[in-house]
């Protein structure tokens, strides 16, 4: 006896499950739409169906990876790149980066502008900002060369400068910071923060893009380092892991909201060394050529050439 074919026939239970699944998806989709609507309404944003409002994390990540390759083509560029093709690669990549970064910059400018200026005006401004950044790349490369040499000179375990460049998390974080800081100064804090957090997630080193860092800077090991927005670091400074340059308190305005942009992080002068686990808080100054020992908690300024340890603080 021939068994009847079930091809094309839906099992009653399966059909019921599909309907139930669709019902759940429809309900969740509507609830998420309502949540977005309420958020935008609360934030005073226009509830239109226009294009993307903010820069894309993925696009910025791609741009930064390309910029790293442009700065160091034979070390951070594609694995099949040859020296004969190096200049062609850099020129082609610069064109690609410029176009994408103008798009992302224009998105941030439009978001901050809230339709006060014509889009064409903002596109022109975005093009100028990106052009200025690209024009700074040679000087940025020279500054990063100093950072790489500082890392090589400061670490007896380093076998060559190339090892430092391609594998040290402190150098990786600093390349990203130099790029992010330039964009932060150009008035693009969102793009700058995306770049900073890309490095943070990869290295465990958290440098706010607003922090000002001098030449020949070296972060040894690096995990857990935190450098706040208004920190100012001089030349030839060396930090070890778990160092915090943070704020001791946060001022509030008359509404109770935190005051933005106030100088609240330390100033570290030239040739300072800060060892692992040190926490330095507030707008204080660490004088030139001072050495701050491990696990020190410091909330007051120290003069030049100070030697600060837990024992010296206890004696005070």
Beta strands in the chain (DSSP E): 206-207, 212-213, 218-219, 226-227, 232-233, 238-239, 244-246, 267-268, 273-274, 279-281, 285-286, 291-292, 297-298, 307-308
CATH 2.160.10.10 domain span(s) along the chain: 211-252+259-316
pLDDT of residue 113: 82
Instruction: Express each pLDDT in 97-145 by its tens digit.
Output: 999 999 999 999 998 887 678 788 999 999 999 999 999 999 999 999 9
Beta strands per DSSP E along 67-213? 206-207, 212-213
Q: Which residues pair with 219 in a beta bridge?
A: 239
Provide the pLDDT confidence category of residue 49 given band limits of 50, 70 and 90. Answer: very low
d(CA 59, CA 209): 18
Residue 18 pLDDT more than 90?
no
Assigned fold of 52-204: 1.10.3130
Query: Environment class of residue 288 by beta-carbon count within 10 Å: exposed (0-12), middle (13-18) or buried (19+)?
Result: middle
Q: How confident is the model at residue 15 (pLDDT cuts 50, 70, 90)?
A: confident
Report pTM: 0.86
Phi-psi region of 275 (alpha: psi -120 to 50; beta: other; left: phi over 0): beta
Give the mean model confidence (pLDDT) for residues 51-65. Answer: 90
Q: 211-252+259-316: what fold?
A: UDP N-Acetylglucosamine Acyltransferase; domain 1 (2.160.10)
pLDDT one-digit tens code per residue, 223-258: 999 999 999 999 999 999 999 999 997 777 777 777
Query: Quick check: 270 and 235 in contact, CB under 8 A?
Result: yes
Which one is predicted more confidently, 208 or 310? Answer: 208
State the Cα–Cα distance between residues 149 and 6, nearest whole angstrom: 73
**Distance from C-alpha of 288 to C-alpha of 234, rounded to nearest angstrom:** 9
CA distances from 41 to 36, 45, 88, 190 (A): 8, 6, 49, 22
Q: From 98, 100, 107, 166, select the one nearest 137 (Cα to Cα).
A: 98
Distance CA 312, CA 292 (A): 11
Collapse the DSSP code of 263 into the 3-class scheme (helix H, G, I; strand E, B; otherwise coil) and give the result: coil
Report CA-CA distances (Å) from 26 to 22, 30, 33, 40: 6, 6, 11, 21
């Amino acid at each position: 006896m021939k068994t009847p074919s079930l091809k094309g026939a839906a099992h009653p239970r399966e059909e019921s499950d599909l309907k139930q699944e669709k019902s759940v998806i429809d309900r969740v989709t509507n609830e998420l739409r309502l949540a977005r609507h309420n958020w935008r309404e609360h934030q005073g944003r226009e509830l239109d169906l226009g294009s993307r409002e903010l820069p894309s994390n993925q696009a910025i990540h791609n741009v930064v990876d390309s910029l790293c390759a442009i700065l160091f083509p034979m070390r951070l560029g594609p694995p099949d790149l040859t020296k004969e093709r190096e200049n062609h690669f850099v020129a082609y990549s610069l064109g690609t980066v410029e176009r994408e970064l103008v798009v992302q910059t224009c998105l941030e400018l439009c978001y901050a502008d809230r339709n006060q200026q014509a889009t064409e005006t903002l596109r022109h401004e975005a093009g100028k900002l990106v052009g200025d950044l690209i024009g700074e790349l040679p000087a940025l490369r020279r500054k990063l060369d100093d950072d790489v040499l500082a890392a090589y000179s400061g670490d007896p375990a380093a076998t060559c400068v190339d090892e430092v460049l391609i594998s040290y998390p402190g150098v990786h974080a600093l390349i990203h910071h130099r790029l992010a800081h330039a964009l932060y100064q150009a008035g693009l804090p969102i793009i700058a923060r995306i770049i900073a957090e890309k490095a943070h997630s990869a290295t465990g080193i958290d440098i706010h893009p607003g922090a000002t860092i001098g030449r020949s800077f070296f972060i040894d090991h690096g995990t857990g380092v935190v450098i706040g927005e208004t920190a100012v670091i001089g030349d030839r400074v060396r930090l070890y892991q778990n160092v915090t340059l943070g704020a001791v308190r946060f001022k509030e305005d008359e509404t109770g909201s935190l005051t933005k942009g106030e100088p609240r992080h330390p100033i570290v002068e030239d040739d300072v060394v800060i060892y692992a686990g040190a926490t330095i808080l507030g707008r204080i100054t660490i004088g030139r050529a001072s050495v701050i020992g491990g696990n020190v908690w410091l909330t007051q300024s120290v003069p030049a050439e100070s030697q600060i340890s837990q024992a010296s603080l206890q004696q005070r």
